[in-house]
Structure 1
């Protein structure tokens, strides 16, 4: 299982600092939507230049103009770009067309999608590299939020998938047990007193589950 760090920061400087702290322990560096909106796609270029050996994920959350927006992000240095699962099929297909032209990938984000299992299968059929079962920050803040529903849906969909929204040292083992291809860590790392140590512990937890 790959480890992805989601950087929901607002400046390129802060993103470069966090990426530098955790890069040794993660496979995918995600530039969160707030960062891209605040700093622009130059943030993607900067992170890719600093960490050329890492997969760089531009979390665009595209809802329209899939081919155009994906192409812009890929040209900026992204290896993966997200399109919302609630977007039209043609938007996802357009993003996939751009991804194939650049030999890169589209991730379909199921945030806000009611029937996640069905849409995950459809997204994969449209050419998504993998599908993200995602509870956003607002959803996570609601009483009773539980990562279990995402894991169950991921298992049922039987497509390559990632999980985002509450992944931590307490839950990482259950994420791996559910068969996720990627575990997305965010707040648990960048709010830690020592982000590098937290990322190292998460990497070790994955390694111990593999042994």
Structure 2
């Protein structure tokens, strides 16, 4: 299972500083949507230039113009981009077409898809994405009664390649691995830690 860190900061300098601390312990450096919106697509170029040996994930959450937006990210240096799993099928297909052109990967982000999520996961998987991110956003995680177990159950049931994002930390990453996830996405469990490098190192140990 690969380990992905979400660089959920708002400027390139902070993203580069965090990436420097944790890059040695993770496989994928994700530029969170707020970072891309705040700093622009050039943030992707900056992180890739600083860490050419790492996969750089541009979390665009594309909802329309899939081929165009994916192309912008791939030309900026991204290795993976997200398209919304709730988007029109042609939007997903467009992003996948750009991925094939550039030899890169497209991930379908299932954030906000709750009803019929397993069925939609299977549908978008057939459209050619590399894997599906079963994702609970910050607002969903803040609701009383939220549990990562729902995400894990959907991943097991769907039977396709998936990642998990939303409450992944040292206490839960073993469950993510046991569920068969291809990627564990960790945000606050790393960047909110007193020592992000040590937190990433411990998470890496737990995925071994």
TM-score range, shorter chain: over 0.9
Structure 1 segment 54-203 matched on structure 2, within 5 A:
54-113=54-113, 114-203=115-204
Report the Cα offset of residue 15 of structure 1: 0.2
User: What residue in structure 2 maps to residue 39 of structure 1?
Assistant: 39
User: What residue in structure 2 maps to residue 16 of structure 1?
Assistant: 16
Distance 1:76 1:131 in 2: 23
- Cα deviations by residue, 1:151-208 (Å, 9 ceiling, x for unpaired): 000011111100000000000100000000000000010001100000000000111x
How many residue pairs end up in the alignment? 207
Distance 1:31 1:80 in 2: 10
> Which runs of no fewer than 5 residues in structure 2 stay unpaired?
none
User: What residue in structure 1 maps to residue 207 of structure 2?
Assistant: 206
- Asked whether 1:26 is paired with 2:30, we answer no
TM-score normalised by structure 2 residue count: 0.99
Distance 1:141 1:7 in 2: 19
Report the Cα offset of residue 38 of structure 1: 0.2
Report the Cα offset of residue 119 of structure 1: 1.0
Determine helix, strand or coil for the equivalent of 2:163.
Answer: strand
TM-score normalised by structure 1 residue count: 0.97
Determine helix, strand or coil for the equivalent of 1:175.
Answer: helix
Report the Cα offset of residue 116 of structure 1: 1.6
**4+ residue runs over 4 A deviation:** none
> Which runs of no fewer than 5 residues in structure 1 stay unpaired?
none
Distance 1:46 1:121 in 2: 34
- Cα deviations by residue, 1:58-90 (Å, 9 ceiling, x for unpaired): 000000000000000000000000000110000
